[in-house]
Structure 1
């Protein structure tokens, strides 16, 4: 059977879940670091999007939501696929799945990056931009905290879905670098949920050495 290819990099958070799915479920895809194969990657995917996927039959797929969906459908286990993706027949639940995935992959991801990157030296520190990103994050944190106060996961009380996994990915950037003990104490439901996902079978091997930030770093 032909093998597919996932182009990824540990410099980004969007490829975290595709790689975790491939490794946990032992899917027939080789994982290629885009920075070790830049020429080939840019020829295959001129938009330079990560994650990017080449299926065993040569079809190209980009964008994290699409890549994750395709990989989960390769499980060929209807019950497990339904647990992770939801069901088209349950319109409300499926809409919620798309809602949380979309938020995680756009505004939540982007504002987390805008806030964290200046602290870790990836971009110059702009106090106005950092404050704006933090204000936007605080609004989203309140939304997540409230929903997770009502139920164990973003979609239900019983099991992890792709919505949880995709939201977890950008949050790792914050939890590792800036969201310290004080922040976690004030967000107990997000913190409980995050630890639950961190220890879940799908992602735990990808985060064996994960360490939480002790406190928010001082501004440069």
Structure 2
């Protein structure tokens, strides 16, 4: 497998990739671009897959030509700062200094906005986009929830700031403005139209200002507001073909019939003299000593039946009447197989 011989950025036209690519183009940095999602059988892409098993984009590979050491980096915010910091510090480039933040507080503010846009803001936006494009099944409650979150971010975070200030950080355009505007452009292609733009003048004034800046103008050259919003289309569920009755019968083997297991006492056969059901009726409906017991001994046949006395071994457990009833009832339930012969 080949080895990377030149600093490389792996990415494509996804929003996270456009600003790192623009930084390289604008400042004429020595990086090659490779799209890891096209020509996947190429040596370059195979090497990317080996170096970055999570397949994230953008990703960066830098090379120290003096030592030959390679440096690997993922995550768009880290990559943008890795590209811009040497320009600001080592080359003293004024524009690079400005967009990453002149002071420590400015830098912290820029990073705050970048982190917010790259997490809280883009998650519901991407959720809506995926449903509109058909990547995910349309779920109205999820879609509406994402729209509500986006409205909250616009009304509570962006509008107050942009109504009072020209830019997101300080009095100059920064990386926060460029990155946010790139995500807004994607939103204008899916969830916001001309009507929305008319109702959010502060946000649109800021967006139009940023999109015309020479640094990002090539990214927005084909931008246009939507006249009407696209609607998410629910995916039609394909009904699985039902096999015909003949096929079902042919495919499904008949289940073997359960064999009824005979009770061991069935081998003794039916009693010729003593009928248990009749005995139960005699015992239940008559007085025990004068009627039921004489009937019992008259019909009892010792050649077919035997009489047993059972003593319970744990009488200390029988402190309450209901406990004895439960035990005796359970005992007779377990004898039912023999009684019902």
TM-score, length-normalised on structure 2?
0.60
1:47 aligns with: 54
Q: How does 1:54-203 map to 2 (within 5 A)?
A: 54-57=61-64, 58-75=70-87, 76-87=91-102, 90-142=103-155, 143-157=157-171, 159-203=172-216
Query: Structure 1 regions of 5+ residues with no counterpart?
Result: none
Larger Rg, first or second structure (1 or 2): 2
d(CA) in 2 for partners of 1:103, 1:216: 25
Q: SS at the partner of 1:66? A: helix
d(CA) in 1 for partners of 2:225, 2:36: 27
1:17 aligns with: 19
Q: In the TM superposition, what whole-angstrom CA distance separates every residue of 1:4-34 from its partner, at most 9, and x where no partner exists? A: 1111121x21111101111122111111111
When the two chains are superposed, the root-mean-square deviation of aligned CA atoms in Å is 1.7
After TM superposition, give the deviation of residue 93 of structure 1 in Å: 2.5
Of 19, 26, 29, the match for 2:28:
26
Query: Structure 2 regions of 5+ residues with no counterpart?
Result: 65-69, 234-341
Q: SS at the partner of 1:46? A: coil
After TM superposition, give the deviation of residue 219 of structure 1 in Å: 4.1
d(CA) in 1 for partners of 2:133, 2:225: 15
Q: Is the CA contact 1:148–1:154 (under 8 Å) kept in the aligned structure 2?
A: yes
The verdict on how the C-alpha distance between 1:219 and 1:49 changes in structure 2, with shifts beyond 3 A counting, is closer
Larger RCO (alpha carbons 8 Å, 6+ apart): 1
TM-score, length-normalised on structure 1?
0.90
Which stretches of structure 1, 4 residues or more, deviate above 3 A after TM superposition?
Answer: none
After TM superposition, give the deviation of residue 125 of structure 1 in Å: 1.2
d(CA) in 1 for partners of 2:15, 2:167: 20
After TM superposition, give the deviation of residue 192 of structure 1 in Å: 1.6
Of 21, 30, 35, the match for 2:37:
35
